[in-house]
Amino acid sequence: MRLVPDELWVLVEPLVPEFRARRQGGGTAPLPARAVFTAIVYVVTSWVDAASVRAKRGDR
Protein backbone atom coordinates (compact mmCIF):
# COMPACT_ATOMS: atom_id res chain seq x y z
CA MET A 1 0.00 0.00 0.00
CA ARG A 2 1.30 3.44 -0.89
CA LEU A 3 1.43 6.12 1.77
CA VAL A 4 -0.20 8.56 -0.66
CA PRO A 5 -2.52 6.65 -2.98
CA ASP A 6 -3.28 8.02 -6.42
CA GLU A 7 -6.82 8.91 -5.34
CA LEU A 8 -5.50 11.16 -2.54
CA TRP A 9 -2.85 12.73 -4.76
CA VAL A 10 -5.51 13.67 -7.35
CA LEU A 11 -7.26 15.69 -4.62
CA VAL A 12 -4.10 17.28 -3.18
CA GLU A 13 -2.09 18.06 -6.32
CA PRO A 14 -4.14 21.13 -7.37
CA LEU A 15 -3.56 22.63 -3.90
CA VAL A 16 0.25 22.40 -4.04
CA PRO A 17 1.88 25.58 -5.35
CA GLU A 18 4.32 25.30 -8.24
CA PHE A 19 8.02 25.83 -7.59
CA ARG A 20 9.21 29.33 -8.41
CA ALA A 21 12.91 30.15 -8.51
CA ARG A 22 13.99 33.06 -6.35
CA ARG A 23 14.92 36.21 -8.26
CA GLN A 24 18.12 36.68 -6.26
CA GLY A 25 19.18 33.07 -6.85
CA GLY A 26 20.19 30.56 -4.24
CA GLY A 27 17.68 28.60 -2.24
CA THR A 28 16.98 24.93 -2.62
CA ALA A 29 16.64 22.79 -5.70
CA PRO A 30 13.07 21.88 -6.62
CA LEU A 31 11.81 18.50 -5.42
CA PRO A 32 8.90 16.49 -6.77
CA ALA A 33 5.75 17.77 -5.06
CA ARG A 34 4.38 14.28 -4.48
CA ALA A 35 7.60 13.22 -2.72
CA VAL A 36 7.41 16.24 -0.41
CA PHE A 37 3.74 15.61 0.37
CA THR A 38 4.47 11.92 1.04
CA ALA A 39 7.20 12.93 3.51
CA ILE A 40 4.77 15.28 5.29
CA VAL A 41 2.14 12.54 5.52
CA TYR A 42 4.77 10.13 6.89
CA VAL A 43 5.88 12.54 9.62
CA VAL A 44 2.33 13.42 10.65
CA THR A 45 1.16 9.81 10.79
CA SER A 46 4.31 8.69 12.62
CA TRP A 47 3.88 11.44 15.20
CA VAL A 48 0.26 10.50 15.79
CA ASP A 49 1.21 6.84 16.29
CA ALA A 50 3.99 7.77 18.73
CA ALA A 51 1.63 10.06 20.64
CA SER A 52 -0.90 7.23 20.94
CA VAL A 53 1.73 4.87 22.32
CA ARG A 54 2.92 7.45 24.86
CA ALA A 55 -0.67 8.14 25.93
CA LYS A 56 -1.33 4.44 26.49
CA ARG A 57 1.86 4.09 28.56
CA GLY A 58 1.06 7.22 30.53
CA ASP A 59 4.14 9.13 29.31
CA ARG A 60 3.87 12.86 28.88
Whether 34 is in a domain gets the answer yes
Number of independent structural domains in the chain: 1
Residue 15 contacts residue 34 (beta carbons within 8 Å):
no
12, pLDDT greater than 80? yes
42, pLDDT greater than 70? yes
Whether 59 is in a domain gets the answer yes
* Parent domain of 1: 1-13+30-60
Sign of CA dihedral 8, 10, 13, 15: negative
- Determine the pLDDT at residue 38: 95
Residue 9 contacts residue 46 (beta carbons within 8 Å):
no
Distance from C-alpha of 53 to C-alpha of 21, rounded to nearest angstrom: 41
Sign of CA dihedral 26, 31, 33, 38: negative
Whether 54 is in a domain gets the answer yes
Whether 21 is in a domain gets the answer no
Whether 18 is in a domain gets the answer no
